[in-house]
Amino acid sequence: MKNVIRILALFVLASSPLIVRAENIAIVGDTIYTMNGNPIKNGVVLVSDGKISAIGPADSVKIPADCRVLKAAVVTPGLIDAHATVGLSGLLNQPQDQDMWEKSAPMQPELRAIDAYNAKDTLVSWVRSFGVTTVNTGHAPTALISGQTMIAKTLGRTADEDVINPAAMTSVTLGRNGLTFAEGPPGSGGGSAAKPPGTRAKAVAMLRAEIIRAQEYAHKREGKDESKRPGRDLRLEAILRAIDGSQPFLVTVNRQQDILSALRLAKEFNLKIILDGCADAPLVLDEIKASGFPVIVHPTMQRTYEDMENLSVETAGKLHAAGIPIAMQSSYEGYVPKTRIVLFEAAVAAANGLGFDAALASITIDAAKLLGIADRTGSLQPGKDADLALYDGDPFEYTSHCVGTLINGQVFADGPH
């Protein structure tokens, strides 16, 4: 019977148009992982007007006569990639679709991902074909401050239509990647930030100076004498949002000394930060836990070299076991600037200490909580956005396929993959 359901799911979705506008839909699943309680066996999810209207066992949820019915072996919330460059890095890997790395200055917090995001790039639909419905994407971790991330649905319309949060985090990189980039012309970037840092100490000193400069700017802007108030400074305004916590620093760090530097800086300025990467996390677990900051763990299958030489497929499991909130990511590597798929990264972590439940949470509800969007997505509950991923088997098994994806109640048949 299960094979019949899987075949039917493939037939129904593969024969659908690429996008079907929001409609009344019933998703019938052998197993539904709601991420809001125990899995539901032989369950139903009802979708109406782009939202989940009901969910429960098939014998308690009546399917209206006008519903389009989709069937799958496994149903999960739509997957969330907590840190990506997709949409700025494109599928072709050619200069015209590579906007994730601005090389003219080491600190550019004023850059916004939404101003470069290409929602129609094939790479966006590619990640969607595996069940990824939401991404926190932006500039690559290749400069001391590389820009601001955005959170978007992978609907493939336009940046303005698909965005959830246009300015979610400000990306900071401590370590080798924050020191190395191609310099622009003299004076690019402005002030003392025109030249890149050459050492870790210099990088932290430059970041500290920029934070102090932003504080002084805010004080002057609040002065009573309007004639003495400085003009608007987009760079410093972005830093101020990190200081007040409304747009936290996403700090990519891998070496243990860089992790500790980030924690030290956060304590000094009372910053809200999110740690990213953290290959050396097992060496400083106590310090990370004491900080209370979450971690977007390095891709499980990232290459081990330079700052990532201590990277391990067990990092996610060790962080989770220590009680540290985590999410998974696709991230970025310059040697092949396309993208990974968080589904596979989580699958490897699940097999190496994280376990199935925590791995699935790391790309659904836990990622949604970390990104501040859990009121809309990350779990299957009435009233939330109808973002779902449908599979013909265990989503972490390499023999399984994503047979369909729903975003805001729209059905996408990009696969199966």
Supply the pTM of this predicted model.
0.91
Radius of gyration of the chain (CA): 22
The per-residue pLDDT string of the chain (417 residues; one tens digit each, 9 = 90 and over) reads 444 444 444 434 433 434 445 589 999 999 999 999 999 999 999 999 999 999 999 999 999 999 999 999 999 999 999 999 999 999 888 888 899 989 889 999 999 999 999 999 999 999 999 999 999 999 999 899 999 999 999 999 999 999 999 999 999 999 998 986 544 433 334 444 468 899 999 999 999 999 999 999 999 988 777 777 888 999 999 999 999 999 999 999 999 999 999 999 999 999 999 999 999 999 999 999 999 999 999 999 999 989 999 999 999 999 999 999 999 999 998 776 678 999 999 999 999 999 999 999 999 999 999 999 999 999 999 999 999 999 999 999 999 999 999 999 999 985 554
So what's the pLDDT on residue 189?
Answer: 40
So what's the pLDDT on residue 19?
Answer: 46
Structural domains in the chain plus CATH codes: 2-77+380-412 (2.30.40.10), 80-371 (3.20.20.140)
So what's the pLDDT on residue 30?
Answer: 98
